[in-house]
Amino acid sequence: MTTMMIPFKLYSGVSVSFSSSKFFQTSPRRSTTTFPRIYAFSSNDIKVGSNIEVDGAPWKVIEFLHVKPGKGAAYVRTTLRNHITGNSVEKTFRAGSKIEQAEVTKETKQFTYKDGSQFVFMDLSTYEEVRLNESDMGDNKKWLKEGMDCNLLFWKGKVIDFEVPLQIKVKIVDVDPGTKGEAAQGGSKPATVETGAIVYVPLFVDRDQEIIVDTRTGQYVSRV
């Protein structure tokens, strides 16, 4: 006895056949049409770390506060840092106003060495080098150690900034000795670490010891 198969066409484009003894579904054909997501970034979407474009330059949001006064329109007060110059400004946006997002991308590179006034970073997968001038490096350069992985920030195909790890381990190369009495009372003293940066450390910390430093604040965290 031959079982009759009855084909049906569903609106989804899936062909389905069934009989009294069997049911199966064939794989749907993959659509080649893609629909871009429509999403408008506004001041209401601002958060710490957002990258926005203001007056043709990329800025990073450092602080923000949504304000709704008793009278008048609500607004968002922000502190912005310019990715290129490092300057910080305060800027206010009307609540709900459209803002251009800065398409900033990150790529991990390893700081390999300094060549004159240039800092050389390498992509460990392609071995391509990226060179940054010392004048464009900003304050973060004082934490760079050879072999350190950093995030290079790209905007419109150009490197505009770089990020070091939030905490790093560094060795103290010079520090004034503290006395036992001073150490018992607490306090701190300046110490020069191997990268050349000055870090205030507790009085009991000595030369040649390794410490953990928070690169965001430049503050001592602990001994290693």
pLDDT tens by residue, 54-72? 999 999 999 999 999 888 8
Cα distance between the two ends of the chain:
82
Determine the topology of domain 43-99 in CATH: SH3 type barrels. (2.30.30)
Burial level of 79, CB count in 10 A (0-12/13-18/19+)?
middle
- Beta-carbon count within 10 A of 102 CB: 19
CA distance 38 to 184: 62
Kindly indicate whether the domain formed by 104-163 is annotated with CATH number 3.30.420.40. Answer: no
Query: Looking at the whole model, is its pTM more than 0.75?
Result: no
Give the containing element (helix H, strand E) for 180: helix 180-184
CATH 2.30.30.30 domain residues, the chain: 43-99
Q: What whole-number percentage of the chain has pLDDT above 70?
A: 79
CATH number of the 167-223 domain: 2.40.50.140
Determine the average pLDDT of the residues in 186-204.
93
The CA angle 101-106-112, to the nearest 5 degrees, is 150
CATH 2.40.50.140 domain residues, the chain: 104-163, 167-223
Per-residue pLDDT tens digits for 122-145: 999 999 999 999 888 888 899 999
